[in-house]
Amino acid sequence: MSQSSTRLYEFGAFRLDAIERVLWRGGEMIVLPPKVFDTLWVLVKEEGRVVSKSELMEAIWANAAVEESNLSQNIYTLRRALGVDEEGRQFIETIPRRGYRFAVPVRLLDEASNNGATVATVANGANGANGANGTAVADDSQAFAEAQPAAPTALERESRPRSAFRPALLAGLGVVILAALGFGVYQFVNRRSEKGQIAPIEQVRFQRLTDSGDIIHPTISPNGELLAYVRLEEEQGSVWIRQVETGGVFQTLPPSGKSYRSLAFSPDGQYLFFRDQGDPGAIYQTPVFGGAPKKVADDVWSDFSVSPDGRRLAFIRRDVARSAHSLILANIDGGAERVLSVRRSPQEYGAGAPAWSPDGSKLVAISEQPNLLTVDESTGEERELRTARWRDIAKALWTPNGRHLIFSARAADEPATQLWMLTYPDGALRRLTNDLESYFWISLSVDGRKLVTRQQRMIMHLWLLPDGDVKKARQLTFGERRFDGYVGLAWTPDGKIVFSSFADNVTDLYSINPDGSNRAQLTANTGQDNEYPVVSNDGRYIVFTSNRAGSRQIWRMDIDGRNQKQLTFGAGQKNDGQIDGAQHAALSPDGREIFFIRRGAGQAAIWKVSSEGGTPVQVSRLADATAEGFLSISPDGKWLTYHHVSGRQKPRDEHTLKIGVLPTDGAAEPKLFDLSVRRPITQWSADSAAFDFAVGINSSSLWRQPIDGGDPQKLCDFPDRIFNLAWSRDRKNLVVSRGKLLGDALMITNLP
């Protein structure tokens, strides 16, 4: 391919702009880390030629010593982002023992005739690179430049714009825009007096520590010098240690098909504690710089924390039979377990780790409501911390002086989980982040100067697969942060798709034609979430879950969204937190009965109610087990699939769930299947003899499990992750919620 001044390349449905360093698929910008973009550009320019690994390494990391695994990870990330072309081919082909080749045709575009597209790229790409307010996240290019030698690489020299005026103008405009956005954010947050004040934008500093997009559980050492994290590669995970200042990395735990989670350093920084998903109920200890792991706790159902003196662990244990959660303290050297406190459904503890105060006298825990609460270490006495109203709280920890709590939570009227700081015990609240990304995992150095978090971005859209053929797949929905179909996907009898979508801080239900046209909103102006739609076979009704009445309950509406009616109401008193919830509806084929999961003070179970409303009746009466969502009914109306949780079950292995198949009359024991799924979403075959399910993390495959036993059969593979799926009534079309979950480590310094 000839080298020219042209920097616009087109291949398949994609357009690569090398000057602005962005990739577009139609009207959607695909965000790639800097080195991943460089890898793609080199391969695109050398269309059809095999580029050796050494050539790629030299072009991308000139004068820098990096491992070949970095290149492999870049190729993997690109394959996830690009998927396959119209003929089902991978864009990047591996040539054994030689290198890589860009395997699809590339077209050079005339730069002069595409100036409009280039300008649009600059305008639309600003927020994607820097976050919502332009200041909350350190620019990747800055971190990229700081990590490289002063002399530019050949790749960097080639990508420089030909005129210095254009970047200067853009930089000037960027300063003005960032200043306006910063002032607007500050004013916006300060108007919300109940949430306190945002930390000054000029005070908090952000630095991206990783850019591979596959990082979970980033954890900083007590002295702030090391970063431990789990890296997910294909279907494996490994644990790495990175030197924060120099950037040097080494692997401390080898790749595992089950992966790892919940990392924590010992107070002296010599050991790393973790959970091995191959033994999901256990906590292990290993020397930071390598050594044989040792099991130090078992029957653990949550993340965990290490006491300030390094002698004890704190975690949550679930008792399925009693619908109870216990906060457990255990010695690291074995034994001496102690139940500190117990909470029962629906007021149980959340899955976040109980975190020790600096003096070890109390812990901060998260309740399911959700709320923050402190638990006295000696007496088990709880004290609830009244702050704002939260949609969810993921993790909390103490600052070293014990005067503040830092936690990740999603506010009731906001779209993303952000980081917050709470003064203890008076409850004054301020923000640490304020953008459109989400932050879940947090870790703090012992001096409180370095906070590490996982910045997460979830992308998903609806795709239609005629005849279930991946090669024929076409995208139906677009846009950022809408999570299309994640909590709802169904077909109407006349061939429309009903799905959930997130906008204006709430989830609502929509319908769309299978060609992507005629999108219509069905639920609106409730201020709460509407999820999990099912459509009656006669096309009259949509039954769904909504929390607009204060708890999740079953609702019904006409097919066009009119005449919305609540069908279940729960038992108990709403003001004491004991009200039962109902969710995950399934409609009988004749439309007369609605099956659903009921959760509350007792065991979760399957119930049913008339589609006109009335008194619910319990269906499942499982011995020492619960029935939890999701719920799906077979076309012949004889079977229900659900998530089966045994009272004797060990802590959940995230790679394997037990799916129960229960007769709809509840008269027989369920058939049980252990399947490698992360979300128990099932779809029945047309003959009611089998159900389909999706498997995978970074990529996915669709499988079919016969209910009379036998091994499941693979139906198809996807280059990215499947979050939800639904077959049309005639089984001629499959719609999937398809996308990716990206995460990287971000360090925050200069905290208030």
Whole-angstrom Cα distance, residue 661 to residue 669? 9
| Structure confidence at residue 696 (pLDDT) | 77
Question: Is the CB of residue 58 less than 8 Å from the CB of residue 235?
Answer: no
Whole-angstrom Cα distance, residue 265 to residue 681? 36
| Structure confidence at residue 387 (pLDDT) | 80
Q: Is residue 184 part of a domain?
A: no
The most distant pair of C-alpha atoms in the chain lies apart, rounded to whole Å, by 77
Q: Is residue 1 part of a domain?
A: no
CATH number at residue 348: 2.120.10.30
Helix (H) or strand (E) holding 74: helix 68-82
**Do 67 and 136 sit in the same domain of this protein?**
yes
Between the alpha carbon of residue 721 and those of residues 282, 459, 653, 694, the distances in Å are 28, 10, 19, 9
Whole-angstrom Cα distance, residue 367 to residue 390? 11
Confidence of residue 291 (pLDDT cuts 50, 70, 90): confident
Question: Is the CB of residue 715 less than 8 Å from the CB of residue 396?
Answer: no
Q: What angle do CA 95, 98, 101 make, to 5 degrees?
A: 50
**Do 203 and 305 sit in the same domain of this protein?**
yes
Residue that finishes a domain, picked among 115, 137, 160: 160
Whole-angstrom Cα distance, residue 241 to residue 226? 7
Question: Is the CB of residue 702 less than 8 Å from the CB of residue 690?
Answer: no
| Structure confidence at residue 503 (pLDDT) | 82
What's the full length of the chain, in residues?
A: 752
DSSP letter for 113, please: G
Between the alpha carbon of residue 361 and those of residues 266, 308, 357, 406, the distances in Å are 18, 10, 6, 18
pLDDT (tens digit, 9 = 90+) per residue, 616-659?
999 999 887 888 888 999 999 999 999 998 876 667 555 568 89
- Containing domain of residue 144, as a range? 8-160
Question: Is the CB of residue 643 less than 8 Å from the CB of residue 660?
Answer: yes
Which residues does residue 404 pair with via DSSP β-bridges, in sequence order?
Answer: 423
Q: Is residue 149 part of a domain?
A: yes
Total number of domains constituting the chain? 3
Residues in Cβ contact with 695 at an 8 Å cutoff, skipping those fewer than 6 apart: 675, 676, 677, 701, 702, 703
**Do 398 and 447 sit in the same domain of this protein?**
yes
| Structure confidence at residue 77 (pLDDT) | 78
**Do 13 and 122 sit in the same domain of this protein?**
yes
- Residues 13-39: what's their mean pLDDT? 84
**Do 203 and 310 sit in the same domain of this protein?**
yes
Whole-angstrom Cα distance, residue 717 to residue 698? 12
**Do 418 and 272 sit in the same domain of this protein?**
yes
**Strand residues in 47-144 grouped as ranges (E):** 92-95, 99-102, 107-108
Helix (H) or strand (E) holding 407: strand 404-411
**Do 453 and 475 sit in the same domain of this protein?**
no
What Rg, from alpha-carbon coordinates, does the chain have?
26
Q: What angle do CA 405, 406, 412 make, to 5 degrees?
A: 105
CATH number at residue 123: 1.10.10.10
Whole-angstrom Cα distance, residue 552 to residue 598? 10
**Do 494 and 446 sit in the same domain of this protein?**
no
| Structure confidence at residue 522 (pLDDT) | 96
Q: Which of 450, 408, 432 is nearest to 200 (CA)?
A: 432
pLDDT (tens digit, 9 = 90+) per residue, 678-736?
788 999 999 999 999 998 767 789 999 999 989 999 999 988 889 999 999 999 999 99
**Do 453 and 514 sit in the same domain of this protein?**
no
**Do 108 and 82 sit in the same domain of this protein?**
yes
Q: Phi, psi (5° rounding) for residue 41?
A: -60, -45
**Do 640 and 525 sit in the same domain of this protein?**
yes
**597/436: higher pLDDT:** 597
Residue carrying structure tokens 């003096």: 359
pLDDT (tens digit, 9 = 90+) per residue, 368-419?
878 899 999 999 999 999 787 888 899 999 999 999 999 999 987 788 899 9
**Do 451 and 479 sit in the same domain of this protein?**
no
**574 three-state secondary structure:** helix
Q: Is residue 736 part of a domain?
A: no
